[in-house]
Structure 1
Amino acid sequence: MAVPIPDPVGLAADLNGIRTSRDRRDKEALLALDVAWPLMTNQLLSGLKGCFEGAAMAGTRAIAGESTAKKRRDEVKNTAYYREGGYTWRRTT
């Protein structure tokens, strides 16, 4: 619900001007070399950390999946016929 309030003096415009000037000042402060370099370095290292953690998690899942895939492969190899590498093999023993 919005309540219209008369603003004959322009107080809202003054408050908005103060807000935008503070925002501009804070953004310019972030561009200073002594602040920008550590900030960008931190963001870069955090991104790399996330990439490495994601790759490690995917590797762990792949290793866990390989053990199940190996079990399935062994089960299939115990049947009379099995396929491997595009060939169909017949078990003779």
Structure 2
Amino acid sequence: MSSDDEKPPAPPVRLTSNRGTDLVNSSIAVDRPLPKEPDDADRKKKNLKLKKTNKLSTYASDKPNISYPTNFEHTVHVGFDPVSGEFTVSLQSV
């Protein structure tokens, strides 16, 4: 027996939909044309994109490592008084 004899028969083609639309009038995926094959120019563009991505990753690894600031102090210029419900402004010179 060949492998074709062991397969079950294909299901019948349904001509009506459960939604009530007629598949004969609608476009069926089989009737659509296949997409065009990519030409050599498209392949070259794809290869260039891959090369650019590799260059960007090597650039990221070459960036200098900048440390965080040392002895940093944040001075708050606006406060809140919970008793009066008002904001207080500190006018100290920076």
For normalisation by structure 1, the TM-score amounts to 0.37
Larger Rg: 2
If each structure's helix is expressed as a fraction of its own residues, which one has the higher value? Answer: 1
